[in-house]
A and B are shown apart, each in its own frame.
Chain A
Amino acid sequence: MRVSGERKLAGFKQGRNGPSNGMKLHEYQAKQVFADAGVPTPDSQLASDVDGVVTAAEEIGYPVAVKAQVQVGGRGKAGGIKLADDEDEAREAAESILGMDLKGYHVDRVLVEEAVDFTDELYVGITMDRGEGKPVAMVSTKGGVNIEEVAEEDPDAIAREHIDPAFGMHPYQARKAVYDAGVDQSVARDVSSVLTTLYQLWDDKDGADAEINPLMVTSDDDVIAADAVMNIDEDALFRQPELAEMEEEAAGGDELEQKADEYGFDYVRLEGNTGIIGNGAGLVMTTLDLVDYYGGEPANFLDVGGGAKADRIANALDMVFSDDNVESVVFNIFGGITRGDEVAKGINEALEQFDEIPKPVVVRLAGTNWEEGMEILNEDLVTVEQTLEDAVQRAVEYAEEVSE
C-alpha cells in the first residue's frame, strides 16, 4: 500500500496542457458536479483564509491536502499543493499557498481535502474525438500521470471505446473499456459505474472533456476521485444555466485576456511587439505568421469577428494599445460581411481622441466597401498599405525602429 504524499500527493494534478476548448470548471466545482451525480470523492471544503483552512482540516481529519484552486496545470510542482499532517503544517501550507502567484494566477482559494490511502491510480475520461466526430470513453491503469504523455509513449495502455451519440454509451461498452484496460476484477464493477456516470454527465452537461485522474483504488477496493476535470462546451452554455453561473467564478487570468472577454473578442496574448488586429480566425493567424516570416514578433491574436461596427473596431485598438509590449499595430481587414467604411470610422474614432498617436498603426483594407473606407480613413493618423504583405512588413519595420 502507498500513502498519498509518499510518492505524490493525493489529487496532485499533473499539468494537463490539452485543448482548452471550453469553459473550465475549477477542481472544487467539478468535484461537486461529480459528487452530486454519485461519483465517490474525498471529503473536502473550500477555504479562503488560514483559519478557514485549519478549521476545515480539523473537521475533515488529518492528513489533508491543501490545493490551490487556479486554472493551471502543474500546480503541485509550482508549490500550489501541499500535504499537512497537523495544524502547524496546515497553517504553514495555507500561508504559503493563499495569496501566491501561480503561473500568473492569483490564488485566493484552496481546497482542503482528506488525503486518501491508495494502492492504485487509474484514469477515466470522456472527450470528443474530432477525427471520428464521436465521443470516446478512455480508461487506463496508468493514472496519476499526464495522460497525454501516456497516450504518446504507450498508446496501448489506454483502452478506448467510441460511443454512438444517438444511443449513448451501452453498458457493455463501459465494461469492455474497463476490462480492455486491464483493471483488476475486484474493482471493475465500480470503475464501470464511475465511467457510466461520467459519460452521462458529459452528455447532460455539454462536456468537452470530463476526466478523473487519478481515480484512486484504496486497500479496501473502493474507488475515489482524487481530482476532477470538467470542461464545458462554451457554445452550449445557453442551455446550461447552472454551469454558466460557475463561469464567473472560474474567470481569471491575464488582465488583457479578461478585458478581451468583456469586449467579446477572440484574443490570445503572445510575447512579441507587433500588435495584430484582423477579421476571421484564419486570416488573423496568417497575419501573425507573416509578422514572424518578415522577422517580427507577433504581440497578440485579435479577431474582431464578422460584421464588426465602428465601436468594436475602436475597442480592438484600445485593447492592443493597452499591451505595453506593443510597439506598432497592423490592422488587416478583408471585408466579407465586415464593411470597410465601418472599419475606417472605428479607426478614426479611436485615434482622433489622442493628441499624439501612442503607437504607429498600419492599415490594409480590402473586400466589401474598401474604397468607401479609404475615403473616410484619416490618413494623417495611420499608414496605409495596399497588400497584406506590404502592411505586415511596414508594421514590423516600425516595431524594430522603436526597439532600436
Chain B
Amino acid sequence: MSVLVDDDTRVVVQGITGGEGKFHTEQMMEYGTNVVAGAVPGKGGQEVSGVPVYDTVHEAVEEENADTSVIFVPPAFAGDAIFESLDSGLDLAVAITEGIPTQDMARVNKRLTETDTRLIGPNCPGLITPGEAKLGILPGNIFSEGNVGLVSRSGTLTYQVVDNLTNRGIGQTTAIGIGGDPIIGTNFVDALELFENDPDTDAIVMCGEIGGEDEEEAAAFIDEHVDTPVAGFIAGRTAPPGKRMGHAGAIVSGSGTGTAESKISALNDAGVPVGDTPEEVADHIEEFLA
C-alpha cells in the first residue's frame, strides 16, 4: 500500500520534449512508472521514448486515460501548465519546476479551492512509492519498500534521511517532497492526513525547515488527529534572520516568525521528537518500529 501513486497511476508528462522532461521520463519509466502520454503544445503526433505526445493535456486524458501529470515546463509557462492540468480533471498534478512567479502561484492556489485535483509542489523533487512508481526526479535507487511515510520540504535532505533509513533496513511506503516555495499545493497537514489513513504506514518522518508556519500547523494537527508516531527534523537552526537560505520559502523574518526553535518546540509539544542530526531521526523511527 501507499499514498497518491502506485503502479496503476497513468502519467502524462507536461514538457516531455524538453531536455529535463525527456531525461526524467525515461528515468521514471525505467523505475516502473506507467507514463502513458506527453503534452506539449505544437508537438502533438510525435513520440518521445515510445510515449505518444499530444498538444493538450485534455487530449492526453481523453486518448490515454491519464490521471496524473508531472510538470517539467519552464517557470514562465509553468503556472499556465498547472492551470491546464487542474482544468483537465486529473487526480494529481506534480510540479517539479523551480522559480515560478509567486503571483502566478497565488492564482493557482485560488483555483485549487475550486477543483478536486491535488497539486504537489512546485519546486519539489516529486514523490515515490518504492518498488512501484516515481513521479519526478528522485533517485530511485536509494529508496526501499517498507512501512515509513516521509514528507519533506527539501529534495536532497529527503535523500539524506532516506539513506539513513535504508541503510538500517527501514523501507518506505511513500516519500513526498512538497517543495520549498512560499505557496505550495499539498502541505504537511495534507500529507500527514494521507499517511495517517494509510494502513501500511506505521511511522512518519517529517522534514521541515525555517520559514512560514506550516510546521507549527502540522504540529497542531498531529496533536489532534495523528496516532501514527511521527519523528521530525528541522533544517536552518543556524540561519540568521532576514537572509533567504536558498529556497524562496526558507527565511526567518525580522520579527522572529518562522524560526527553527518555534517549529521544534511546537513539534515537541505535540509529542514529536526532533532529531539534532538526520541519523537521530532514523534512531527515533527505529524505536517506533521496535
Q: List chain A positions with a Cβ less than 8 A from chain B.
A: 15-21, 128, 130-131, 133-135, 148-149, 151-152, 164-166, 203, 206, 208, 233, 235-236, 238-239, 266, 268, 270, 278-286, 288-293, 298, 301, 303, 306, 334-337, 366-368, 387-389
Chain A residues contacting B240 (CB-CB under 8 Å) are 268, 270
Does the CB pair B238–A298 fall under 8 Å?
Answer: yes
Residues of chain A with a CB closer than 8 A to B142's CB:
367
Q: Are B235 and A285 in contact (CB under 8 A)?
A: yes
- Which among A16, A128, A239 has the highest number of chain B CB atoms within 10 Å? A128
Please judge, given known A-B contacts A166-B110, A235-B75, whether A21 and B155 are in contact too, CB under 8 Å. no
B237 touching A289, Cβ below 8 Å: yes
Alpha-carbon distance A293/B212, docked complex (angstroms): 24
Q: What 0/1 pattern do residues 249 to 290 of B give for CB contact below 8 A with A?
A: 111011100000000000000000000111100000000000
- Tell me whether chain A's interface is mostly helix, strand or loop, or mixed: mixed
Q: Is B248 an interface residue (CB 8 A)?
A: yes
**CB < 8 Å neighbour of B250 from A18, A233, A285:** A285
- Alpha-carbon gap, A149 to B255, bound state (A): 7
> Closest approach, in angstroms, between the C-beta of A302 and any C-beta of chain B?
9
Task: Establish whether residues B235 and A133, one from each chain, have CB atoms under 8 Å apart when the complex forms.
Answer: no
B189 → A minimal CB distance (Å): 12
Could you list 13 A-B pairs, sorted by A, with CB under 8 Å? Answer: A148-B254, A165-B106, A233-B102, A235-B75, A236-B103, A266-B246, A279-B156, A281-B247, A281-B250, A282-B154, A288-B236, A336-B125, A367-B159
Contact residues of B between 201 and 225, Cβ < 8 Å to A:
207, 209-210, 212-213
Name, among B75, B102, B109, B241, the residue most crowded by chain A CB atoms within 10 Å (CB to CB): B102
A166's nearest neighbour on chain B, judged by CB, is B110
Chain B residues with CB under 8 Å of A282's CB are 152-158, 180, 207, 209, 235, 246-247, 250
Contact between chains at A281 and B101 (CB < 8 Å): no
- Whether A20 and B160, one on each chain, are in contact in the complex, defined by CB atoms closer than 8 angstroms, is no
Partner of B139, one of A151, A203, A292, A367: A367
A44 to B89, CA, bound (A): 55
Give the distance in Å from the alpha carbon of A327 to the alpha carbon of B155 in the complex. Answer: 29
Q: B251 and A284: CB pair below 8 A?
A: no
Does B18 reach chain A (CB closer than 8 Å)?
no
